[in-house]
Structure 1
Amino acid sequence: MTEIEQLLTRVADKARNTRPWGWTSLPEPLDEATLARAEAVLGFRLPPLLADLYLQIGDGGFGPEYGLLPLLDSPPAGEPAAVTQYLANRESTRKNPDWPWPEEVLPISHWGCAMYACVDCREPQAPVLLFEPNADDAEHAWYVDAPSLTDWLGAWVDGRGWYEETNEEAEMAPWADFRIRTAATRAS
């Protein structure tokens, strides 16, 4: 069994036994056609591990705090789907270029207070970023939560995330690539 397969097994075990706030059950996994439809709407592919979470474990409803957002379709009474939130954030960029949303940075989990955990789908390691819009400006609203989706999931499974009571003092580094990734958006 590969390291990724072991991680998926551990995530699936925890997903079956814990419910994030607001979720009463674990949604069914997506089928390949729904994943393909989501990627077509987004205009980019999901990192393989993120796709596997949705295809093998469930369409959201597991993970830290409020859990992963559903990918394409919103639950009956909950957060918008990740695709819907991404498109809204990109549209917001056109209306307010001082707060650009980087291309291919998909919000996957809501933390409350308009904060999101996001996966940088452009990078091979799929770093997880924290968007904290309560900052004074957009450049200071982005942090590196984990260098990879693998690390982020491992922290959740092992209880090592910054959101755990035992780790409240954890500091996150600012996302150094924000300016580079949004330069084209700001120039237009």
Structure 2
Amino acid sequence: MTDDEVVEALRTVARAETLPPPAVPEAVAAAEEAIGFPLPPLLRRLYVEVANGGFGPNEGILGVSGGAAQGNFADITELYQDGPDPSGRIPAGLVLIYEWGCTIWSLVDFRDLAGAMWVNHEGECWPQGVNLAEWLTSTLAGTVTVETLLESQPTS
């Protein structure tokens, strides 16, 4: 799917569900400044044009300030600034956006314009082999699960 198709698919979901309103551009800019990397263009569009988080799997991804929270996590900036990985195993620029439970997180690589997706589980971090558009499309189709994330972990 193209970025435009992903945006439109999530707009359709947003019309059918109660999602937060879109983020104000200032909140997105503040997140980029705090994180130290620009948001991948698709994620920026989704936050500003569709909803400030809340879309994606189950209760949806975290937003930027003022958007969708997940559990005790208010937004991607707060989580990034709090240092989610004191072991240092999560490289700078990988931003946690969705917690699956059982210490399994999906992360977006802000260093990559396509937003390569990563997985973090119990301190181990590895690329998932898909970009943000593919990940969102798969979550809408229900084909990304905890099991598929763990299956993507490279064997030693």
Q: TM-score, normalised by structure 2?
A: 0.83
User: Is the strand fraction higher in 1 or 2?
Assistant: 2
In structure 2, the partner of 1:17 is 16
Cα offset for 1:174?
A: 3.2
In structure 1, the partner of 2:152 is 172
Q: How many residues align?
A: 154
Is the Cα–Cα contact under 8 Å of residues 42 and 114 in structure 2 kept in the other structure? Answer: no
In structure 2, the partner of 1:161 is 144
Equivalent residue for 1:105, pick from 90, 94, 100 = 94
Q: Which one has a bigger Cα radius of gyration?
A: 1
In 2, Cα distance between the equivalents of 1:117 and 1:77?
13
CA deviation map 1:105-137 (0-9, x unaligned)? 01111212332211011123211111112xxxx
Is the Cα–Cα contact under 8 Å of residues 66 and 109 in structure 1 kept in the other structure? Answer: no
DSSP-derived class of the 1:130 partner: strand
CA deviation map 1:73-104 (0-9, x unaligned)? 466884221111111126x53xxxx4433100
Equivalent residue for 1:147, pick from 127, 130, 135 = 130
DSSP-derived class of the 1:129 partner: strand
Is the Cα–Cα contact under 8 Å of residues 115 and 132 in structure 2 kept in the other structure? Answer: yes
Cα offset for 1:28?
A: 0.5
Cα RMSD, aligned residues only = 2.7
User: Per chain length, whose mean CA-contact separation is higher, i.e. which structure has more relative contact order (CA < 8 Å, sep 6+)?
Assistant: 2
The letter of the residue matching 2:63 is P
Counterparts in 2 of 1:73 and 1:114: CA distance versus 1, 3 Å: farther
In structure 2, the partner of 1:57 is 50
Q: TM-score, normalised by structure 1?
A: 0.70
In 2, Cα distance between the equivalents of 1:28 and 1:49?
17
Identity of aligned residues (%): 27
Q: Mind listing any 5+ residue stretches in structure 2 that lack a counterpart? A: none
CA deviation map 1:133-154 (0-9, x unaligned)? 2xxxx3xx22333421111011
Counterparts in 2 of 1:11 and 1:146: CA distance versus 1, 3 Å: farther
In structure 2, the partner of 1:114 is 103
In structure 2, the partner of 1:132 is 121
Q: Mind listing any 5+ residue stretches in structure 1 that lack a counterpart? A: 19-24, 176-188
Cα offset for 1:155?
A: 0.6
